[in-house]
Amino acid sequence: MPDFPKYLERLQSGDRSMNPFLDFMGMVLEQLDDGYARFRMPVRDEFLQGAGVVQGGLMVAMASETIAHAVMTLLKPGEGIATIELKNNFLATAKEGNLIAEGRVFKKGGTVIIGDAMVSSESGKPLSRASSSILLLKR
């Protein structure tokens, strides 16, 4: 299993090389705390779909990554995670600027962790809300 504390430490220092997806999306970690993560992602032209707004799946992916990183802050050595369910509600669209995702762990049980994330515009307008059930894996 990955060494999550070391991974998070490197990520906090600005190194996204060990997570090519974050680098591809342009997601930048802004804050990390116990059970909490906040990422920023610039809206790029290639993220816009035919109607000229951010393709919704990108907001879902951003929320999923943010929840997972919030969960990683609570893992013990030898623990890993796998998303088993992800639900998203779209609230509004975005065309430009930066998207902000804030994720929190709602509950960490013995085998399942529940997390939530809100993706908003940089002005604070809610764009999508996701909730996730994550399986806790033990070595």
The vertex-85 CA angle with 89 and 17, nearest 5°, equals 90
Phi/psi at 76 (5° precision): -95, 160
pTM for the predicted model, two decimal places: 0.96
Chunked mean pLDDT (size 10), the chain, 139 residues: 88 91 96 98 97 97 98 93 97 98 96 98 97 95
**Cβ pair 71, 81 in contact under 8 A:** yes
Q: Which CATH class is domain 4-138?
A: alpha beta
pLDDT at 50: 96
**Cβ pair 58, 47 in contact under 8 A:** yes
pLDDT at 96: 97
